């Protein structure tokens, strides 16, 4: 049973017992559908094996549900009447409130989808925001489409449902950011809900099991970073944080732990981390440039002061081993 979550350094106790089987409703809102395809690429287990082993009853998913239209309308009618409730509501994509707060940019059966989201949220025991758009607003935040996350708008708590919202279990929305979210995170979170595994949420309602680390952790270029051996152009073997826009030391996520396709990540193939799990993604500056003042990044790794950083990196660069400065590590 999930008894408590850690949120913004405060512990919330929940006495609900998680059901042994779950009714799951997956609704796509304003987004590209990439989180769905990431989820479908899971292998151990795949989606069919996961749902079967967890005894998940799928009420709706736009890509894999085989319900006839009248049958799906009956399910939605039962939800509206209160004769059917949802154990887990998965929202993929941001909630679109435009134009002018009407929500008519994204409709379902001719009505604003945002109203349907608000209604389903009242029926759900647990709510998962799948991907960065659902979590924080994503690419459409602060634009004319008025996109927002379920309980955050970028860094600001509140979002569509409001900062005080709690689902039927007494929990806030559980954010699973990423563009897309890793399939193992989605599967792991659903497994935790069924098995009753205790999870802890961080400041932005993300499970610390996966978002309690930086993308930088596990990066094969870590040693280059520590000694400030810098990449100035793509194809080199140094650290991409200082000049090429890498967000690895700035973004929370398990990309270098879980790996993509069980074998790699952006940084392992020489591509800077875009910081896609951050509330401000996509950032309003170039992906492949590090904003800096006289060679010192404006945004420093989490938890370090600028004075300490300058002193530490200056000494580290002077002490860099020759095998690193000559890029002869084989990485």
> At residue 216, does pLDDT exceed 70?
yes
pLDDT in tens, 259-284: 999 899 999 999 999 999 999 999 98
Mean pLDDT of the chain: 90
> At residue 22, does pLDDT exceed 80?
yes
Res 328: pLDDT = 63
Res 257: pLDDT = 93
> At residue 18, does pLDDT exceed 60?
no
- Distance (Å, whole) CA 204 – CA 216: 19
Res 33: pLDDT = 96
Percent of the chain scoring above 70 in pLDDT: 93
CA dihedral 204→135→77→2, nearest 10 degrees, is: -30
> At residue 327, does pLDDT exceed 80?
no
Q: What is the CATH number of domain 213-331?
A: 4.10.480.10
Res 305: pLDDT = 86
Q: How confident is the model at residue 330 (pLDDT cuts 50, 70, 90)?
A: low
Q: What is the mean pLDDT of residues 121-134?
A: 97
Q: Give just the sign of the alpha carbon dihedral 112, 118, 119, 123.
A: positive
> At residue 4, does pLDDT exceed 90?
no
Res 326: pLDDT = 86
Nearest to 168 by CA among 6, 14, 28, 57: 14
Can you name the CATH fold of 4-208? Rossmann fold (3.40.50)
> At residue 19, does pLDDT exceed 80?
no
Residue 324 to residues 230, 244, 282, 316, Cα–Cα distance (Å): 10, 18, 32, 12
Q: What is the mean pLDDT of residues 204-210?
A: 97
Res 1: pLDDT = 31
> At residue 8, does pLDDT exceed 50?
no
Res 7: pLDDT = 31
> At residue 199, does pLDDT exceed 60?
yes
CB atoms within 10 A of CB 289: 11
Q: Are 131 and 92 spatial neighbours (Cβ–Cβ below 8 Å)? A: yes
Q: Kindly state the tokens that stand for 110.
A: 């001719």
Which residues, listed in sequence order, are joined to residue 24 by a DSSP beta bridge? 58, 88
CB atoms within 10 A of CB 47: 20
Q: How confident is the model at residue 312 (pLDDT cuts 50, 70, 90)?
A: confident
Q: Which helix (H) or strand (E) holds 24?
A: strand 22-28
pLDDT in tens, 50-93: 999 999 999 999 999 988 999 999 999 999 888 999 999 999 99
Instruction: Please state whether beta strands 22-28 and 147-148 pair in parallel, antiparallel, or not at all (unpaired).
Output: unpaired
CB atoms within 10 A of CB 237: 17
| CB neighbour list of residue 63: distance below 8 Å, 6 or more residues apart | 33, 36, 40
Res 60: pLDDT = 95
Res 129: pLDDT = 98
Res 2: pLDDT = 32
What are the sequence ranges of the domains in the chain? 4-208, 213-331
CA atoms in the 13 A half-sphere facing the CB of 280: 8
pLDDT in tens, 36-50: 999 999 998 999 999
Res 196: pLDDT = 84
Give helix 69-81 / helix 113-123 axis angle, nearest 10°.
Answer: 60
């Amino acid at each position: 049973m999930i008894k408590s979550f850690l949120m913004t350094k405060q512990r919330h106790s929940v006495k609900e017992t998680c059901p042994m089987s779950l009714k799951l409703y997956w609704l796509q809102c304003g987004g590209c559908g990439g989180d769905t395809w990431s989820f479908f690429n899971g292998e151990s287990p795949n989606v069919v094996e996961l749902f079967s082993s967890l005894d998940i009853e799928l009420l709706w998913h736009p890509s894999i549900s085989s319900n006839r239209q009248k049958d799906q309308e009956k399910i939605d009618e039962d939800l509206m009447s209160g004769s059917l409730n949802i154990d887990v509501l998965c929202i993929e994509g941001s909630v679109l409130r435009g134009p002018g707060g009407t929500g008519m940019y994204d409709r379902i059966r001719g009505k604003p989808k945002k109203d349907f989201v608000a209604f389903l949220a009242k029926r759900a025991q647990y709510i998962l925001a799948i991907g960065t758009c659902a979590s924080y607003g994503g690419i459409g935040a602060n634009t004319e489409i008025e996109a927002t996350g379920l309980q955050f708008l970028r860094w600001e708590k509140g979002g569509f449902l409001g900062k005080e919202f709690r689902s039927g279990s007494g929990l806030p929305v559980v954010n699973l950011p990423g563009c897309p979210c890793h399939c193992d995170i989605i599967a792991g979170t659903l497994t935790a809900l069924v098995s009753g595994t205790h999870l802890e949420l961080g400041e932005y309602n993300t499970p610390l099991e996966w978002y309690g680390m930086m993308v930088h952790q596990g990066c094969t270029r870590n040693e280059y970073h520590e000694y400030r051996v810098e990449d100035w152009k793509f194809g080199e073997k140094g650290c991409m944080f200082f000049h090429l826009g890498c967000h690895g030391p700035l973004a929370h996520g398990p990309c270098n732990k879980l790996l993509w396709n069980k074998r790699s990540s952006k940084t392992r193939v020489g591509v800077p981390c875009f910081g896609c799990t951050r509330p401000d993604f996509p950032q309003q500056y170039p992906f492949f440039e590090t904003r800096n003042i006289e060679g010192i990044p404006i945004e420093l790794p989490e938890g370090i002061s600028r004075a300490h950083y300058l002193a530490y990196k200056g000494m580290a660069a002077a002490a860099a081993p020759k095998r690193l400065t000559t890029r002869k590590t084989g990485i």
